[in-house]
Structure 1
Amino acid sequence: MPRRKVSNTLALAVLGLLQEKSMHPYEMASTLRERGKDTSFKINTGSLYDTVASLVKHGWITEVETVRDGRRPERTVYTTTEDGQSEFVQWVDELIRTPVPEYPKFMAAVSYLGALGPQRAAAALTERAGHLERQIEDARRVLAETVGTGLLPRLFMIEGEYALHALEAEHGWTVRTRDEIRDGSLTWPES
C-alpha cells in the first residue's frame, strides 16, 4: 500500500468536517472543540493552518471563497475535492479495518511499574484512577450534551462512545491492579 501524502489525524478531522459543509479554519477549530474532539485530535492554530495548506497543496481541498464577518479579518473557506473525498473514504476504511501499533506512554510506563515499589505503584495507580474518573465524567457529560439532547446525531460522536469505553476499561484495570498490589496478590520480587 503506498504511503499517504498527508497522514496526520488532524487532516482526517479537517476532511471529516468538510463532509458536513464548507468551512474556514477558525470554524473548523471551534467546531472540533465544541464537539469535544480535541481529545481525539491535537488542535492548535499553527498546526491546523499547516494541515489545511498541505491538503490544498495535495489537491484534497480547495478554496471556495473568502469572507469577512464585520470587522473580523478575511477568512478563506474550503471544501473537499473529488480526490480529497476519495482519499478520506479510503483512509477511514483503512483505519477502521486494520489495527496498527500505537505506542501509548502509559503502556511504556506500566512495563516498568516494578521500579516504583509496591507502595509508590499503588499510590500512582490510585492517583491515575482519580484522573480517569474525572475524564469519564467529562466524556459522559459531552455525550449527554450533544447526542443526549439531539444536538448531534449519535454517528457524529461515535468516537466519544469508544473513548468513554476505553477510559472505563483503563479505569477498571487500574483499580484492579492497584487492589492486587495492596492485597499482595501482585507480588514484587525480593531484592
Structure 2
Amino acid sequence: MTRRRVNNPLALAVLSCLQERPMHPYQISSTLRQRGKEQSIRLNFGSLYAVVTSLEKHGLITQRERIRSGNRPERTVYEITEAGVTEFEDWLAELLRTPTADPSPLESALSLIAGLPPDEAAELLEERTTRLDLEARRIGADLEWSREQGLPEVFLIEAVFREAMVRAERDFVMRLAADIRSEALGGTSAWRRVHELRAEGVPMDEILGRAGELLGPDARILEPGHGPYEPPHRPQEPGTDPSGA
C-alpha cells in the first residue's frame, strides 16, 4: 500500500465532500452524518479539525474564505486543490483494488484464544454470536427503511457490505464455538488439560517441561510453530535460499 501523506479514512471522506463544493468543517461533518457515513467512518468534531489541519498542511486543501453568520464564531471555508483531487482519486482506487492483511481485533484475539479455558472461550464466542445477530438485524432494518424511501442502491453499498461481513463473522464464530464445545477443533483436549492443570496449581513451566507426560500426543501444540492458529512449518525446497536472495 502507498504511504499516504494523510493516512486516515476520515481524510478521504473530507476530500470527497470538498470535491462537491467548498465547505467549512461543520458543513463537512453535517454532510457526512446526514448520509450516515459515521457508520463506516469514525467521525467526531475534534478528529475532523485535526484531519482538516493536516490536509491543509500537505497542500491537499486550502482556505477559500472566512465567513460569519450572526453571532456565531467565524468559520473557515475550505476547497480542494488539484493535488487533493489527485490524492483522493488515487487513494480511493487503491483501497478498492488492493486487499490488506491488517488483522482485525477479532483476529488478534483468536491468535491468543488459548489463554482462556475452552469453555469460557466458547461462551464468550456464543455471546458474540448473539450480539452479531442483533447488529445484522439492525443493519437489515436500516437498509429496508432506506430502500422504502427510494434511496438508490449505490448509496447503500457500505451498509450492504457491513451486513454481509457481520453475517459471515457470525457464522464463523458460531461454528468455532461449537467446534470448541465438541472438541472437533484440533488440539482442544490438550488446551483444556493445560487449563485444568493450571487450576490445580501446576506451574506453566512444569507443564512445558513435562508436556509429553501430561498432555500425551497433543503435547506438540506447546512446541514452537505448533501453537493454536500458528501456520505449519513449510520445509525449504532444495536449492532455494531462505533469505529469498
Give the TM-score normalised by structure 2: 0.69
Q: 1:5 is paired with a residue of what secondary structure?
A: coil
Q: Describe how 1:109-124 pairs up with structure 2 within 5 A.
A: 109-124=109-124
**What is the rounded CA distance, in whole Å, between the counterparts of 1:164 and 1:89 in structure 2?**
26
Q: Describe how 1:20-31 pairs up with structure 2 within 5 A.
A: 20-31=20-31
Aligned partner of 2:173 in structure 1 is 174
Query: Which stretch shows the higher mean deviation, 140-149 or 77-86?
Result: 140-149
Does the 8 A contact of 1:55 with 1:61 survive in 2? yes
The Cα of 1:69 is off from its aligned counterpart by: 4.0
Q: 1:188 is paired with a residue of what secondary structure?
A: helix
1:47 partner letter: S
Q: Higher RCO, 1 or 2 (CA under 8 Å, sep at least 6)?
A: 1
**What is the rounded CA distance, in whole Å, between the counterparts of 2:126 and 2:133 in structure 1?**
11
Aligned partner of 2:97 in structure 1 is 97
Query: What are the superposed Cα offsets for residues 32-76 of structure 1, whole Å, 9 maximum, x if unpaired?
Result: 233332232222222210111111222212233333444433322
Aligned partner of 2:184 in structure 1 is 185
**What is the rounded CA distance, in whole Å, between the counterparts of 1:76 and 1:143 in structure 2?**
35
Root mean square deviation, CA, Å: 2.2
| Gaps in structure 1 of 5+ consecutive residues | none
The Cα of 1:84 is off from its aligned counterpart by: 0.8
Aligned partner of 1:136 in structure 2 is 136
2:183 partner letter: G
| Gaps in structure 2 of 5+ consecutive residues | 195-245
Q: Describe how 1:1-191 pairs up with structure 2 within 5 A.
A: 3-151=3-151, 153-186=152-185, 187-189=188-190, 190-191=193-194
Does the 8 A contact of 1:114 with 1:188 survive in 2? no
Inter-CA distance 2–173: structure 2 relative to 1 (3 Å threshold): closer
Higher alpha-carbon Rg: 2
Q: 2:123 is paired with a residue of what secondary structure?
A: helix
Q: 1:137 is paired with a residue of what secondary structure?
A: helix
Inter-CA distance 139–70: structure 2 relative to 1 (3 Å threshold): farther
**What is the rounded CA distance, in whole Å, between the counterparts of 1:183 and 1:23 in structure 2?**
57
Q: How many residues in Structure 1 have an aligned counterpart in Structure 2? A: 190
The Cα of 1:173 is off from its aligned counterpart by: 0.6
Query: What are the superposed Cα offsets for residues 77-102 of structure 1, whole Å, 9 maximum, x if unpaired?
Result: 22222211111001111111112221
Identity %: 44
2:5 partner letter: K
Q: 1:23 is paired with a residue of what secondary structure?
A: coil
1:181 partner letter: I
Does the 8 A contact of 1:117 with 1:188 survive in 2? no
**What is the rounded CA distance, in whole Å, between the counterparts of 1:23 and 1:184 in structure 2?**
57
**What is the rounded CA distance, in whole Å, between the counterparts of 2:24 and 2:146 in structure 1?**
22
Inter-CA distance 19–143: structure 2 relative to 1 (3 Å threshold): farther
Give the TM-score normalised by structure 1: 0.86
Does the 8 A contact of 1:35 with 1:142 survive in 2? no
